[in-house]
Amino acid sequence: MDESYEILYIDSQDQVLDYFSDTLDSVGYRVTRCSDWDRARMMLENREVQPELILIDPSTKNGTHTGLKEIREQVPAVPIIAISSNYDPKSIVQAMRDGASDYFCKPLSSDELRNLVKNVLSTGNSIIRPSRMPTSSLQFICHSLAMKEVQKTALRVAKINVPILITGETGVGKDVVARFIHQESDLRGNPFVKVNCAAMPTELVESELFGYRKGAFTGAFIDRPGKFEFANNGTIFLDEIAEFTPSVQAKLLQVLQDGFFSRLGSNDEVVINVRVVAATNKALEIAIKEGSFREDLFYRLNVIRINISPLRHRKEEIPIFCEYFMEKFALQYDSKLTEIPPSLMEVMMAYNWPGNVRELENLIKRLVVLQDSETIEAELTQKMAAAQSEELDEMADSYFNGEEDLDLKEISRRAVSQVERNVILKCLKKNKWNKSKAARDLKVTYKTLLTKIDLYDLAP
């Protein structure tokens, strides 16, 4: 890291100042902290500080959008990043108009903060292209009964400092729920540190989580705190916790039981007060039976369990997610595309979304950037056909391998059902969901068509 980079960070919350400053100091940046906007302005005027980047919470005491505008005039070539707990779109847009180069919403994990700063400074200190939507915005969409229940549980446990285990497939929104719990808790102004357990090299996990002492191993030239210390008095989110090795699991269990640990290479105890929220896309009960996950750790984490349903089980939320992502990316990429073609929306409603909300978000981003709905529609249709073919192949394999007791009639029935569903769906789309016309084309009664529509759960 180039230690010549100087950053001015302005925030009225001392804990946030400490957390962000320590996070950036740990990777070599020189951070000047200030809790008062007027004082920061004087420091700039007197050239007490000459930052390459300014981070500011617009809601800081004595900090207003007017002050932000004055600073922009004072340092026109310095990127100014607004980082705030205010999710109001009007405030975001106003901050951008008054000179913010970008706007991010708290809480930010240490990794997100470091990446943010690295990306901004790597542009050569020029003002980055404004993005009027927060990159880390907390959008908890809960239109379905299942997600309303998740929200209800999250709100109920947010005020209680107990471990929480969030389960669900990849991409369903476990991260969003974890941040929502933190934001609704009494810890909202304190650090939220996300740890991607699956992305951490096995040999570095312990030192990254718990820190190390100078000389603990080759290359340990300084004492360094771990993520648990950065998260002190806040929340640590352990994503994909099933990836931890048994030794790390044992140390994590100790932290949950005793509230302290030792850095690598040290015997000194580090006392912490951290709320642990863990998440996994695996069945931990099976991992316990296989011996890859500790049963005692499971019971420590599983005090409160929140399961998030896959998107295919709450398809009524797809149009709402689409609307949100369309607005977000249209603003971010200055696109005039505001609506999804009806034919594409029908395919999206029929598609099963193995990647869940994350897959949907990436598809909408691609749609906004490329504005090629026909290609995307064709790809989704092809994926659905491939999935159905794969399902038939698996059914045939299970029959021949003796895994499933099926006769030829049952295999034929299932295959015909899949083909019939596709034909009915295409006919309905062709007739713009006019069921009377579709029934005539299919040469069945109106009542029979309604029965089939209900059977195959078809909807425009």
Q: What is the pLDDT of residue 409?
A: 65
- In this prediction, residue 6 carries a pLDDT of 86
pLDDT at residue 127, rounded to an integer: 32
Average pLDDT along the chain? 82
Residues of the chain with pLDDT under 70: 1-4, 60-67, 87-90, 93, 122-139, 389-415
Supply the pLDDT for residue 366. Answer: 93
Q: How does pLDDT run across 186-211, given as a tens digit for each residue?
A: 888 888 888 888 888 877 888 888 88
What does the pLDDT read at residue 279? Answer: 96
Domains and CATH numbers, the chain: 6-121 (3.40.50.2300), 145-307 (3.40.50.300), 313-455 (1.10.8.60)
Q: Does the global pTM surpass 0.85?
A: no
* pLDDT reported for residue 359: 94
Q: Tell me, what's the pLDDT at 305?
A: 95
For the stretch 252-286, pLDDT in tens is: 999 999 888 888 888 888 898 999 999 999 999 99
Find where tokens 């978000």 sit.
361
Q: What is the pLDDT of residue 406?
A: 58
Model pLDDT, residue 133: 35
Sheet of 275-280: strands edge to edge?
A: 192-196, 235-239, 275-280, 164-167, 304-307
Report pLDDT digits (tens) over 225-257. 888 888 888 999 999 999 999 889 999 999 999
What does the pLDDT read at residue 408? 62
